[in-house]
Amino acid sequence: MVTLPCPFRRLRLALAIFAALFPVSLAAEEVTLFAAASLKTALDELADVYPGDTLHIAYGGSSSMTRQILQGAPAQLFISANQTWMDLLERDGILAQDSRIDLLGNRLALIAAPNNTAQVTPTPAFDLATSLSDGVLAMALVKAVPAGIYGREALVTLGVWDSVEGNVAQADNVRAALRLVATGEAPLGIVYATDLGAAPDVQLLGLFPADSHTPIRYPMALIDPVSPDARAVYEFLTSDTAWAVFEKNGFIRPAVQP
C-alpha cells in the first residue's frame, strides 16, 4: 500500500484546521480538478459552461496524477481512467468519504495515421505485426497509464502482444500516443474511442472486443477536506448537462457493456 509521507499528512491536517477557523478568507475562486488526459476535450467544454467559480483542470496520466496527489498536490477532485490508481488514494485516506463513484465508461480503439492504407482490425490473432512493417505502435505507458494497460491486456488476450512488443512506442499519456499517430510518426496506435474527436484526420480501424480487456471505468472522487465549491463542481459533473457533453464526446454509461 502506498503511504502518504508524514509531512504531507501534517500539511493536509493544517490546511483542514485553517479552513475550519477561517472559512471566509478561504472562499475559493478556483476549483482544481485533476483528470485523466483522455477527458480533455469533454472537460474543457464543460469548464467553459460551468456556472460557478473558475474551474481549473490539470490533465495527465492517471498514475502521475495519483502520485502528485499523494505528494500533496492541491487537487480538490480527481477523475482517474482506471480503478487501481483511485484505490491507492482511497486506501491512504485521501478521498472524501462516500464521494467515489464510477462516472463514465469508454472503449478501446485501433487507429491508423491519416495516409496509412492498413486494413487490419482487432480480432483474435490478427496480423498486427505485418501491418506495422518497420513502424511502431503508439500506446500510452503499458505498465502505468490506464490506456496502455488496457491496450496491452487486449493484445495479450487476442494473442498478438508477443509479435509487436518490440515495436511499441510508449507515450506518457493517451493523448501523446494519439499525437504520434496524427503526425504520422507512428503508423498505428491504440487509444480510447473518445480520443478520435481530438484528431479527426486519424483513421479508426476498429474497436477492440469489449471482452478482450478489463471494462474501462472512470472513477471520480472528492479529495478531503471538501470545500463547498468543490462539492458544487462534483454535482455539476454528475448532472444531466454534463452527461450530454460526455455522451456527445463518445463516452458511455459505466454500467453499459457493449
Residues making up the binding site: 38, 62, 147, 174, 192
- How far is it, in rounded angstroms, from Cα 84 to Cα 63? 9
Annotated binding-site residues for molybdate read: 38, 62, 147, 174, 192
The string of DSSP letters for 119-132 reads: -----TT--HHHHH
Pick from 179, 138, 184: which is nearest to 40 by CA? 179
CA-based nearest residue to 190, from 137, 115, 124: 137
Residue 139 near residue 170, CB atoms below 8 Å:
yes
DSSP string, 49-75: H--SSEEEEEEE-HHHHHHHHHTT---
Q: What is the distance between the alpha carbons of residues 120 and 107, in angstroms, rounded to a whole number?
A: 18
CA distance 91 to 78: 15
Asked if 237 and 39 count as a contact pair (C-beta separation under 8 A), the reply is: no
- Three-class SS state of 17: helix
Residue whose entry in the numeric block shows the C-alpha cell 472513477:
219
Are 196 and 109 contacting, i.e. CB atoms less than 8 angstroms apart?
Answer: yes
Tell the burial category of 30 from Cβ atoms under 10 Å away from its Cβ (0-12, 13-18, 19+): exposed
Rounded Cα distance between 138 and 170, Å, is: 6
CA–CA distance, 125 with 145 (Å, rounded to integer): 24
